[in-house]
Amino acid sequence: MEKRPIIIDTDPGCDDFFAIMMAAAYEGFDIRAITTVAGNAVVDVTTRNALDIAKLLGIKTRIAKGAGSAMMHPFDEPAAFVHGLNGIGQVVLPRSEQKVDEMKAWDVIYDEACKADGQLELIPVGPLTNVAIALLKYPDLKDKIKRITIMGGSTTIGNCLPYSEANIFHDPYAAHLVFTSGIPLVMAGLDITLTALVPTDDIMKMSEDIKNKAVRDTVVQLAKIRGNEPFHDVVAVASVIKEDIAEYKDYNVEIEYKSPLTYGRTIVDTTFTTGKAPNCRVMTGYNVEAHKTMFADMMRKY
């Protein structure tokens, strides 16, 4: 089977860990790079985490450091109460000796897009700053990306403001550039990812199938720390692996990046009142049982 070239753009992040774990467990992916961005923690920390997660999971790929703050405002203090000061729930991973790529994240995205001859897929599961910078720096990039599947936004509720989800809220102008790029987009919004809960007890049971002790211990620690919280980012990866795990509708989605009340909201035109053409396949349903099965299958690969 021809492997599908992908880049995961991430701010690890407890749920990012499981998203990377699922991507690495899938034989059909050729992970061309993991690019890091500030979000759940400052970018030096998310980069450290990406290096150490790749070592733990045996992922041999480029790790490139990206943006440390949003395009339009200084870096938002990370939600340490959610992901801990070290971004992964204070879990300590064996330190990787791998060097960060000499290229910045946005340059690696372009470099790999050129090499993949139009087949590269991006899976951003943090703020979209790196992708936006790449689009600004390389105007022809939009013609070289097959698809972008993001965890971000929401058709309904938010987690940073009443209607604003974190990944968009942390850099709404970057999201605006991505959503207006014309690149085929899939949005796994918070309204959907909140349904994709794998209960902690289930994860504990599944983790018994993990042969690698260091991986098993990490999974158990993270699951306990994030107890009964959905691992949002996994939904984006799972839908790239198994497209029919979700239901979708094509909508026009615009990003609010001016109003203080709805800063970072994804305005999903579900009533077609704007008269604007759809620019995004928005997840409208998700098969949680299939998600749990994929989660269990993933564990058995380590």
Q: Which residues bind Ca ion (CB under 5 A)?
A: 11, 13, 16, 125-126, 233
Nearest CB to Ca ion, comparing residues 125 and 150: 125
The residue (of 116 and 168) whose beta carbon lies closer to ligand RIB is 168
Identify residue 148 by its one-letter amino acid code.
I
Least distance between ligand RIB and beta carbon 19 (Å)? 8
Residues 192-221 close enough to bind ligand RIB by CB under 6 A:
none
| Length of the chain counted residue by residue | 302
Stretch that binds ligand RIB, among 102-110, 134-142, 165-173, 206-214 (CB under 6 A): 165-173
Nearest alpha carbon to residue 238 among 25, 29, 23: 23
What CA–CA distance (Å, rounded) separates 142 from 254? 18
Q: 120-153: b or e for each residue (b if 16 or more CB lie within 10 Å)?
A: bbbbbbbbbbbbbbbbeebeebeebbbbbbbbbb
The helix (H) or strand (E) run that includes residue 4 is strand 4-10
* β-bridge mates for residue 164, sequence order: 161, 265
Site string for ligand RIB, 19-58 (x = CB under 6 A): --------------------xx------------------
- Residues of this chain, 127-146, that bind ligand RIB according to CB under 6 A: none
Q: How far is the C-alpha of 18 from the C-alpha of 146, rounded, in Å?
A: 24
Residue of 122, 166, 174, 187 that binds ligand RIB (CB under 6 A): 166
Candidates 4, 5, 11, 299; binder of ligand RIB (CB under 6 A) is 11
| Of 93-101, 104-112, 115-123, 162-170: span binding ligand RIB (CB under 6 A) | 162-170
Q: Decide which of Ca ion, ligand RIB, none touches 190; Cβ closer than 5 to 8 Å per partner kind.
A: ligand RIB
- Is residue 297 among the annotated active site residues? no
Residue type at 149 in one-letter notation: T
Beta carbons within 8 Å of 258's beta carbon, 6+ residues apart: none
> Which span sits near ligand RIB by CB under 6 A: 10-18, 67-75, 138-146, 267-275?
10-18
Structure tokens at 243: 């497209």
